[in-house]
Amino acid sequence: MSSNQALFERAQRVIPGGVNSPVRAFRAVGGTPRFIARAQGAYMWDAEGRQLIDYIGSWGPMILGHGHPDVLDAVQRAVTEGFSFGAPTEREIELAEEILKLVPSAEQVRLVSSGTEAAMTAIRLARGATGRSKLIKFEGCYHGHADALLVKAGSGLATFGHPTSAGVPAEVVQHTLVLEYNNLEQLDEAFRQHGADIACVMIEPIAGNMNFVRASVPFMTRLRALCSQHGALLVFDEVMSGFRVALGSAQSLYAQQIPGFQPDLSVFGKVIGGGMPLAAFAGPKAIMEKLAPLGAVYQAGTLSGNPVATACGLATLRLIQQPGFFDTLGARTRRLTEGLQAAATAAGIDLRGDCQGGMFGFFFADHLPQNYPAVMATDKERFNRFFHLMLDGGVYLAPAMYEAGFVSAAHTDADIDQTLAVATRAFQTLG
Ligand SMILES: *Cc1c(COP(=O)(O)O)cnc(C)c1O
């Protein structure tokens, strides 16, 4: 049996940083990443045979837990029929129909292989459909690593963004305007200055890439009104929140509070693939028909709508529609977040948690932050120590304070109790 440390050293010789996606390297929290050997239900086992209660769930997709028998069966059957055809299949229609049934704002959907690809193409489509170039995004929202989205705010609203990654030319982000999340004044001002040139506004309605921050209802109401008034498309990036915070995704929650609310385009990933590489973007027919082969906006993919991935996604989407699925999942996630807050308070530590459906976040702070600077101002030192105490106690949380957490249908009340017992000891050590 190899140790995590030996595997990490070996990995770093052949893979940059030893990982194929940066956050896995534990750079934010320090220490050695756990190399995962296998997973089942709510648990994963690392290379040293240690069992961990998994609150990452592959960063969201594993809403049923690992290895659900019905999903496994669907994937095993699909695999025997062929890995990839590069030609259309009936299963793609079934998955599209399933997604559209649950997302009334969309009439058509195109399947791709990653959230990055879906978000990037949604922007191209918005630009193609409006004939405009500029786009607005919000600080702390992540929409994948396409060039135009790796951008931070310029010095004022009159200046557009600066790249956050080497290798992205300034010219490529010159049309991207970055605003503060939940800031109504900035939003008004940006539309006042640039309204006629804005192709789209892309937003994580419940942001999961700066821990867990909700767009406020007044903010979303104003955003929808401004987009409609100025002819800009409102693009909901629901790669993380989609089919995770509610069966109808985050947009269904805003529709409950804002009469007639709908985004123009939606981007999905994570849960819709059930752990396989699959993502999608969707919207009204009039916009979606601007895509090739019908329209002038080009997009393609060798593995798009892959038959094994669609089998996995379809089985997953069918299972989460069982009556009461989200009620049970939501109650369990709430028990976790409320339990963490109560245990911290008992130890004299400031902690605030929030959750929706099977997604949660918590902050070492005496309030819930409303934007990225506020998230980054919470106690990072304390989070990092807490993270390691939890990991040592067999609880696998996201290894950075700016990431959300995920509970699956496989997590039992006993798993939550066990987690809270480990957390109670950790808070006592911290306090
Ligand atoms: C994960 C994520 C993406 C990127 O998806 P990948 O499949 O990792 O490319 C985009 N947007 C949001 C909101 C995400 O959480």
> Which residue among 149, 238, 239, 267 has the greatest number of ligand 1 atoms within 8 angstroms of its CB, and so is best to mutate?
239
pLDDT value for 345: 97
pLDDT value for 431: 87
CA–CA distance, 43 with 62 (Å, rounded to integer): 11
4-63+323-430 CATH fold: Aspartate Aminotransferase, domain 1 (3.90.1150)
Question: Rounded mean pLDDT of 404-425?
Answer: 98
Domain ranges in the chain? 4-63+323-430, 69-319
In the structure encoding, which two tokens stand for residue 369, read together? 């932050």
Q: Give the least confident one: 5-14, 115-124, 150-159.
A: 150-159
Contact 117, 256 (CB under 8 A): no
pLDDT band at 13 (very low <50, low <70, confident <90, very high): very high
Pocket of ligand 1 (CB under 6 A): 114-116, 119, 142-144, 204, 208-209, 237, 239-240, 269, 279
Closest CA to 363 of 344, 379, 348, 349: 379
Dihedral over Cα of 246, 403, 431, 413: its sign: positive
pLDDT value for 153: 82
pLDDT band at 204 (very low <50, low <70, confident <90, very high): very high
pLDDT(158) > 70: no
The DSSP-derived string for 155-198 is: SSTTS--EESSTT--GGGGTTEEEE-TT-HHHHHHHHHHHGGGE
Nearest-atom index, ligand 1, CA of 207: 13
Distance from the alpha carbon of residue 343 to the mean position of ligand 1, in angstroms? 32
pLDDT band at 160 (very low <50, low <70, confident <90, very high): confident
pLDDT value for 185: 97
> Which residue among 147, 240, 243 has the greatest number of ligand 1 atoms within 8 angstroms of its CB, and so is best to mutate?
240
In the structure encoding, which two tokens stand for residue 355, read together? 């959750």
Contact 164, 151 (CB under 8 A): yes
pLDDT tens digits, one per residue of 97-127 = 999 999 999 999 999 999 999 999 999 999 9
Which residues does the annotation mark as catalytic?
142, 237, 270
Taking all residues of the chain, what is their mean pLDDT, rounded to a whole number? 97
CA–CA distance, 32 with 4 (Å, rounded to integer): 7
pLDDT tens digits, one per residue of 236-269 = 999 999 999 999 999 999 999 999 999 999 999 9
pLDDT(353) > 70: yes
CA–CA distance, 16 with 61 (Å, rounded to integer): 25
Distances (CA, A) of 271 to 1, 150, 186, 422: 32, 24, 33, 28
Query: What is the amino acid identity at position 273?
Result: G
Nearest-atom index, ligand 1, CA of 277: 7
pLDDT value for 161: 84
CATH of domain 69-319: 3.40.640.10
Pairing of β 176-179 and β 198-203: unpaired
Specify which residues 360 forms β-bridges with: 355, 405
Contact 149, 141 (CB under 8 A): no
The 3-state DSSP class for residue 398 equals coil
Please report, in angstroms and rounded to a whole number, the separation of the first and last CA atoms in the chain.
Answer: 37
Contact 236, 203 (CB under 8 A): yes
Question: Rounded mean pLDDT of 198-225?
Answer: 98
Nearest-atom index, ligand 1, CA of 208: 15
Distance from the alpha carbon of residue 143 to the mean position of ligand 1, in angstroms? 6
In the structure encoding, which two tokens stand for residue 193, read together? 């200055």
Question: Rounded mean pLDDT of 308-328?
Answer: 98
pLDDT(357) > 70: yes
Which residue puts its alpha carbon closest to atom 6 of ligand 1?
115
Distance from the alpha carbon of residue 113 to the mean position of ligand 1, in angstroms? 11
Closest CA to 204 of 245, 163, 173, 165: 245
Distance from the alpha carbon of residue 136 to the mean position of ligand 1, in angstroms? 17
In the structure encoding, which two tokens stand for residue 388, read together? 């390691």
pLDDT tens digits, one per residue of 179-195 = 999 999 999 999 999 99
CA–CA distance, 155 with 153 (Å, rounded to integer): 7
Question: Rounded mean pLDDT of 84-107?
Answer: 98
Closest CA to 51 of 396, 384, 389: 396
Question: Rounded mean pLDDT of 51-60?
Answer: 98
